[in-house]
Amino acid sequence: MPHFFSNKRLIILMVSIILLVAVIGFSTREREELTLPEQFVRDAVGVGQNVFQQPANMINGVVDTIRDIRYVYEENQVLKDRLDEYAMVASERDTLKQENATLQEMADAEESLGDYVTRPALVIHRSPDQWTETIGINKGSQDGIESGMAVITPEGLIGQIDRTSQFSSTVQLLSDGDPSNRVSAMVHTEDDPVYAFVEGWDEEREGLLLRKIESEAEVEEGQLVSTSGLGGVFPRGLTVGEIQEVGPDEYGLTQDALIKPVADFYNIEHVRVIEREAQNLDEQLLDEVEIDDEEDEEEIEEVPLEEGAGDP
């Protein structure tokens, strides 16, 4: 026993355990008020947490804000790229839709042109200084294109083939002011058609000029003008436009009229080159006439001469 109390370390350990248990029991029991040491410790910890929490929350908010800004920027870039893609797709869709409508109109027009052989072509070039005079197409002599053939759009006549090469051609538009650029036309009236010539382009009023109309012809605004087929180049019935104004010419002998074209001479992408089948028919008739002449010559040679018919 005296040996046990002589061990100071063991005594200190036991006392400490007893005090610790007492403190634990004291602190775990229900109390209405805290002790002064507990209040001091809790207040000190609360003040320290408040001091460090506000800057931490501020820094955390700044980091979150930067992260959000970066995320919004990246999302904005993605949406911008998709918007550009959408604009491109929408443009391609509108282009294809327009081309499809144009081709459909041209197909419908081709079905109605029973007397023509049509060849589709694409406009490949157009000079800014000759915007209303000529266009270039991607069909040439290798495709059967010849000078003088009529050129149309789904709306109506726009011109004729001027020059050809192997794989391309130049189209002279009706809006070209060349004096030699004329088309035999007719005005659809209630009675018989009135024949005249489409000659030149009025730049101020932006219309075709119809000249050499008979002075007694009853031509009025709104009447339809089409090709007459009398010139030997353009087939009959190709729509040109509508009468807008009518008046006497400068000499008072005939009438002149202003035509509003049904075709758009500014926005041209697809055209059709047409050739009358009647040309082939004319060639056949010419061959038949030559054959008949040869047969007549043979019959004349076979007829025997009467006696004395050859004597002087």
* Per-10-residue mean pLDDT, the chain, length 312: 62 83 68 64 68 69 76 78 65 66 63 65 86 88 90 90 92 85 88 88 88 89 88 82 90 90 88 68 44 50 44 39
> How is the chain split into domains, by residue range?
36-112, 116-277
SS3 189: coil
What pLDDT is stored for residue 8 in this prediction? Answer: 77
Q: What pLDDT is stored for residue 167 in this prediction?
A: 92
DSSP string, 49-93: HHHHHHHHHHHHHHHHHHHHHHHHHHHHHHHHHHHHHHHHHHHHH
CATH of domain 116-277: 2.40.10.350
Contact at 8 Å (CB) between 121 and 204?
no
